[in-house]
Amino acid sequence: MDSRIFEQWEANAEDYTTLVNGMGTPHHRKILNPCVERLLGDVRGKRLLDAGCGEGYLSQYYAKHGADVVGVDISEKMIALCKQRPYDESIEFFVGDICSLDFIENSSFDLVLCNLVLLNVPCFLDALQEFFRTLKFKGLLVFSIIHPAFNVFGPGRWVLDEKSPDSGRRKGRYFVFDNYFDEKEYLIQWKTRAGTPFPKQFSFFHRSISTYVKALTSSGFRLLDLEEPRPVDDDPFFERERRIPFFLVLKAEKLER
């Protein structure tokens, strides 16, 4: 993994953990997480790798639902934060690079979850190959990304109207997008809940949908499902996300080579 990625997540670990707040952002809770859970299916009694686990809230969630969870993240501070709060002691947390999981044995997991991580790493093909190696035959990979065709952390942006009194959020006028096939890195400055900037910018790597799908199949996976999840209710906060998808979630199965 590029050392810059490690440095970004180390510097931003505490602010990111505060932002996620042990349960995910509203976008996670109302759009992404229900879709991911549906695609993973029943996790009871299954060994699950949370690849790029961050501060560990999904590791906690799936451990409580009966999975045997291993969480891996490149940031030492993130893993330390996982362990500072009360957590299910059955979870094993490790500092590690998802693009080189040398400490994990072949064919040792039933499920791999990689939630909003591959879009932040330059070595995503290496990561997919490691997921294939560590999964059992017929094991499942579920990974999510920001939707490449509507990528607000890449070549896309909303043109916005005034704030809505119903949601406290600016309404979308229309979405602008260009240069979809120009796959490159974007440096994005996030802000805390208080509106102050994170210590470092995050790297986001824009890639086309076909790039992700071809990488999956070339790594030995069979694509089973692809979803563009919608908000689960009519909350006016998600006016924009009901019009165009924010996330893309893919489910794939390991095939025998």
> What are the extents of the domains in the chain?
3-149+208-254
Query: What's the one-letter identity of residue 181?
Result: F
Q: Has residue 47 got a pLDDT over 90?
A: yes
Position of tokens 């505060």?
18
Q: With contact defined as beta carbons under 8 Å apart, do 115 and 62 qualify?
A: no
Cite the DSSP H helix spans in 68-189: 76-84, 124-134
Mean pLDDT of 20-38: 95
Per residue in 149-174, pLDDT (tens digit) is: 999 999 999 999 998 888 889 999 99
| β pairing state of 221-227 and 47-51 | unpaired
User: What percentage of the chain carries pLDDT values higher than 70?
Assistant: 99
Segment 119-156, tens digit of pLDDT: 999 999 999 999 999 999 999 999 999 999 999 999 99
CATH, range 3-149+208-254: 3.40.50.150
Report which secondary-structure segment, H or E, holds 7: helix 3-20
- The 3-state secondary structure of 16-46 reads HHHHHCCCCCHHHHHHHHHHHHHHHCCCCCC
Look up the pTM and report it: 0.95
CB-based contact 73:175 (threshold 8 Å): no
